[in-house]
Amino acid sequence: MSALELTVPATTRAEGEQERAAAPVRRILAQTRFDAMAMLRNGEQLLLTVILPLFVLAGLARSGVVDLGEGRRIDLATPGVLALALISTAFTGQAISTGFDRRAGLLRLLGTTPLGRSGLIAGRLGAVAVVSAIQVVLLGAVGLALGWQPQLAGLLPAVLVGVLGSAAFVSLGLLLAGTLRAEAVLAAANVIWVLLLAGGGVVLAADQLGPFGDFVRWLPSGALGDGLRVALTGGSWPWLDLLVLAAWTAAGTLATMRWFRWDS
Amino acid sequence: MSGLVKRYGAKPAVDGASFSAAAGAVTAVLGLNGAGKTSTIECCEGLRRPDGGTVRVLGRDPIADGAWLRPRVGVMLQDGGMPQAARAGDVLDLAAAMYARPLERKELVATLDLGSRLRTPVRRLSGGERQRLALAVALVGRPDVAFLDEPTAGLDPQARLVVWELIAQLRRSGVAVVLTTHLLDEAERLADHVVLMAAGRVVAAGTPGELTGGSDRTLSFDGPAGLDLAPLAPLLSAGIAATEVRPGHYVIANRTPEAHLLPGDVAATTAWCARLGIMPEGLVLGRRSLEDVFLEIAARQSGATQVIGVVGA
């Protein structure tokens, strides 16, 4: 036991803030790594973020049961499945893990370490970005293997749509996680995922949903799905969808800052 | 910390509590469940915003100066705050990554006997292992101040000794340790300073010796619950009181520092028992323990148990 140097030597104590805490970047990267590993190790999360989107992609590309609209099926299916995968990670995954971490007291505990609350949020956003990148590479590769031909001119607008869409869904996921009980978060996040898959304009364009589509295109899910489809099939900038996603991100962030509770 | 008030709704959980904790000393905050211990500690940790009063940790405001304080303060929450799915070792590494000079993981883990459990998910750790992991997380950054909320709750006696030794070592290293507990032997053994809380207030504070009256003798015994102590009171010497501190457990002790338990008080008590035909089981003449003090105060606060024969108190 005598080997344990429990305190910082007095000489270094005087050196100030930077000397006691690790550098902010290092703290945030540690949290990012921890959260990303947690997401990738969790079987249920993997099912939602990778396996089910792969099934949806294969199903939409191979069978003609669902009408995807004008154009090659794989070109319409892949952007929609990418949107679905982003929602899985940014919304459902974040909501559930944050909800349970909040109940376990982890959010409070990390709030007392040098990481702080802002560092915790930054780390989690980093983890969402890492996992989303892995999803896009994986699903994109499968799409390409199935014959997907994205418009290269649409890649930049698509990335922007993806980032804004993820931001909007993270803010909404955290809002859910910070206001409801963990079990309610689990149920709501999964139900919303299924509803968005079925009729949220994610894999099926809002145009294909009849009169309902005029409502769906203003949802973050509709804007994300349509935005990716417009960018990657037409190679153009989906300005309206970007605007809708920016508005949802702003609203979701403000609501989360207002109502998120760190303890349960 | 002075005049701290914390309300949840209309009811204050902490109602004007004041105390201070010194570096290189262990301060134990004692009290029954609901006494306001955890709320008090959480205000010190910057987790809750006080509704009144002043809290200073290392001279700083826990909320306004949070960024300065967080690297210097180690926290062990009552509910642990451990992510259930993560492996124990990963949680410790995450905490260590937040500090410029964390403790060596190997030594900390060896001290707390967690070496074989590092690859185990938190949810599969035993309660005691989870407690020790939470303690490791609190100490890994080599804090100047450690807030430990019930650090030995759920530990077996052997693990408790390990934690006690670690806390003693923290004190020797100059750390200000503030812990809450409802284990009175823990407070008596570890604490340099005891703060007794009830209903959100500090009802007594001092060294364990000051609180127990140092060398004052007490007489205690077990008998049927609910004995009428009124006839005994006039038989005792001035300043000596009989208290049923919990049902069936009676303590005869001084109520003022000037009064001392005399041989006549022992004789009077046993004679009174004999008259009632009661065998005073476990009759002990000893020093007043912190538990006696605590139970007496708790009894006075609740008014549920009888305190008879207070003269000059």
Contact A105 B142 (CB under 8 A): no
Q: What is the pLDDT of residue A155?
A: 96
Residue A2 lies in a domain: no
The torsion of the CA quartet B142, B69, A256, A101, rounded to 10 degrees, works out to: 20
Q: Which of B113, B243, B93 is nearest to B165 (CA)?
A: B113
Q: Which of B87, B84, B81 is nearest to B147 (CA)?
A: B81
Over residues A31-56, the mean pLDDT reads: 93
Residue B201 in this model has a pLDDT that exceeds 80: yes
Q: What is the pLDDT of residue A57?
A: 94
| Structural element, H or E, at residue B157 | helix B157-172
For A108-135, the pLDDT digits (tens) are 899 899 998 889 999 999 999 999 999 9
Taking CA atoms, B136 is separated from A111, B133, B183, in Å, by: 17, 5, 21
- Helix or strand or coil: residue A46? helix
Contacts of A263 in chain B (CB under 8 A): 47
- Domain definitions of chain B by residue range: 2-210, 214-308
The minimal CB distance from B169 to the residues A6, A8, A100 is found for A6
Q: What is the pLDDT of residue A53?
A: 96
- Distance of alpha carbon B200 from the chain centroid: 14
Taking CA atoms, B17 is separated from A58, A197, B34, B44, B294, in Å, by: 64, 54, 14, 12, 17
- Helix or strand or coil: residue A150? coil
Q: How far apart are CA A229 and CA A79, in angstroms?
A: 5
Contacts of A5 in chain B (CB under 8 A): 103, 142, 173
| pLDDT band with cut points at 50, 70 and 90 for residue B313 | very low
Task: Return mean pLDDT, chain B.
Answer: 85
Contact B85 A1 (CB under 8 A): no
Residue B177 main-chain phi, psi, to 5 deg:
-105, 125
Q: How far apart are CA B86 and CA B274, in angstroms?
A: 63
The Cα of A6 is separated from the nearest Cα of chain B by a number of Å equal to 5
Q: What is the pLDDT of residue A181?
A: 95
- Helix or strand or coil: residue A112? coil
Cα within 13 Å of Cα(A18), Cβ side: 3
Over residues B81-99, the mean pLDDT reads: 92
Lowest mean pLDDT segment, chosen from B28-37, B165-174, B284-293? B284-293
Q: What is the pLDDT of residue A26?
A: 94
| Structural element, H or E, at residue B30 | strand B26-30
Residue B119 buriedness (CB in 10 A; 0-12 / 13-18 / 19+)? exposed
Q: What is the pLDDT of residue B310?
A: 34
Q: What is the pLDDT of residue B280?
A: 92
Over residues B14-30, the mean pLDDT reads: 86
A interface residues, B as partner, C-beta within 8 Å: 1, 3-8, 12-13, 17-22, 26-27, 30-31, 34, 37-38, 41-42, 100-101, 104-106, 108-116, 262-263
Q: What is the pLDDT of residue B189?
A: 87
Q: What is the pLDDT of residue B304?
A: 43
Chain A residue with Cα closest to B101: A20
Over residues B192-197, the mean pLDDT reads: 89
Q: How far apart are CA A157 and CA B192, in angstroms?
A: 65
Q: What is the pLDDT of residue B90?
A: 94
- Helix or strand or coil: residue A106? helix
Residue B41 in this model has a pLDDT that exceeds 50: yes
Q: How far apart are CA B36 and CA A47, in angstroms?
A: 44
Q: What is the pLDDT of residue A157?
A: 97
Contacts of B173 in chain A (CB under 8 A): 5-7
Contact A109 B108 (CB under 8 A): no
Residues 6+ apart with CB under 8 A from B270: B280, B283
Q: A-B interface: how many C-beta pairs under 8 angstroms?
A: 122
Contact A106 B169 (CB under 8 A): no
Prediction ipTM score: 0.85
Domain count, chain A: 1
Q: What is the pLDDT of residue B311?
A: 30
Contact A1 B111 (CB under 8 A): yes
Residue A219 lies in a domain: yes
Q: What is the pLDDT of residue B309?
A: 35
For A162-205, the pLDDT digits (tens) are 999 999 999 999 999 999 999 999 999 999 999 999 989 999 88
Chain A residue with Cα closest to B92: A34
Over residues B124-133, the mean pLDDT reads: 89
Contact A30 B144 (CB under 8 A): no
Q: What is the pLDDT of residue B277?
A: 94
Task: Return mean pLDDT, chain A.
Answer: 91
Residue A202 main-chain phi, psi, to 5 deg:
-85, -70
Contact A105 B82 (CB under 8 A): yes
The Cα of A254 is separated from the nearest Cα of chain B by a number of Å equal to 21
| Structural element, H or E, at residue A259 | helix A239-259
The minimal CB distance from B99 to the residues A20, A34, A109 is found for A20
Residue A210 in this model has a pLDDT that exceeds 90: no
Contacts of B44 in chain A (CB under 8 A): none
Q: Which of B154, B151, B152 is nearest to B127 (CA)?
A: B154
Q: Which CATH class is domain B2-210?
A: alpha beta
Q: Which of B32, B33, B39 is nearest to B17 (CA)?
A: B39
| pLDDT band with cut points at 50, 70 and 90 for residue B257 | confident
Residue B287 main-chain phi, psi, to 5 deg:
-90, 150
For A71-94, the pLDDT digits (tens) are 889 999 999 999 999 999 999 999
Share of chain B above pLDDT 70, in %: 93
The answer to whether residues A99 and A177 touch, using CB atoms and an 8 Å cutoff, is yes
Contacts of A13 in chain B (CB under 8 A): 144
| pLDDT band with cut points at 50, 70 and 90 for residue B308 | very low
DSSP states of B77-134 as a string? -TT----SSSBHHHHHHHHHTTBSSPPPHHHHHHHTT-GGGTTSBGGGS-HHHHHHHH
Over residues B192-205, the mean pLDDT reads: 85
Contacts of A34 in chain B (CB under 8 A): 86, 90, 94
The DSSP secondary-structure symbol of B304 reads -
The Cα of A119 is separated from the nearest Cα of chain B by a number of Å equal to 10
User: Token pair for residue A255?
Assistant: 């609501």
Q: What is the pLDDT of residue B133?
A: 92
Lowest mean pLDDT segment, chosen from A7-11, A72-76, A101-105, A203-207? A7-11
Q: Which of B182, B175, B181, B82 is nearest to B135 (CA)?
A: B82
Vertex A262: Cα angle to B6 and B27 (nearest 5): 50
Contact B173 A7 (CB under 8 A): yes
Domain of A78, in residue numbers:
23-259
The Cα of A262 is separated from the nearest Cα of chain B by a number of Å equal to 9
Q: How far apart are CA B38 and CA B20, in angstroms?
A: 16
